[in-house]
Amino acid sequence: MSGAIAEAFARAREENRAAFIPFLMAGDPDLAVTGKLLGALARGGADVIELGVPFSDPIADGPVNQKAAVRALAAGTTLTSILELVGRHREELGVPIVLFTYFNPIHAQGVEAFAEKAAAAGVDGVLCVDLPPEEGAREYVPAMRAAGVDTIFLLSPTSTGERMDVVGEASSGFVYYVSRVGVTGGDTALRSALQGELERVGRHVDLPVAVGFGIATPEQAAEVAALADGVVVGSALVRLVEEHGRAPDGGQGAVEALEGRVRELVAALGKAG
């Protein structure tokens, strides 16, 4: 594996805080602005950046991210152009990049070819949300590991202990825990059972666990940071881009708004003690 993601979590742990993982949809409103937004995330304090690959038929994305994917596809964004974007910016960012994608775009390129291209572009990990780890074990996981790219899989409140074991074996870098049943979005309260669920995950998974879905405010981020190794915020940031990204200023308003919001969220991630 690249090791960059593991190093990011280790650094956050040494600083007695949870790692911050912001999500943006690549190509919303276009890839030129996305490049500027990546810089805003890094300057704001992101430990790992999750970059969405727009897909025509998403199943894990809520309305905010779905609309962002539609805008990105309308702007002509493709997996190839996203890899080119990462290749242009990865070194200057100094922050690991994780692609959040569905399997279709990977399959269209060919799994081994995609793994090699992703590694060459500087992608550090891939979260393929609709690929079960059992199926991924056949070709996807071996190809990604051979290329040095981390494979990140999902767990949820409905995951069994056996499922957690399988995901723990298939994952590297970190495991993404979905904080609720449903799709992405930041409009609901966090579930009171989250602490017990994460303790259970920890008995099955020997990797950092990042929690996402439904986290929007610094207060929610602080609540999750007390329990998890990492905090993922997506829809709330995508909404900011939607509000500011198409202004006739080349994306500068979105850059400033995003960097400020990320700083607020990062400041909330310290752990007690």
The answer to whether 165 is a known catalytic residue is no
Active site residue: 61, 150, 229, 242, which one?
A: 61
Residue type, 18: A
The answer to whether 7 is a known catalytic residue is no
Active site residue: 47, 50, 150, 229, which one?
A: 50
- The token duo for 271 is 């752990």
**In terms of Cα–Cα distance, which of 234, 227, 193, 202 is closest to 18?**
227
Cβ atoms of 211 and 231 closer than 8 Å: yes
- Cα distance between residue 202 and residue 154, in whole Å: 14
Active site residues: 50, 61
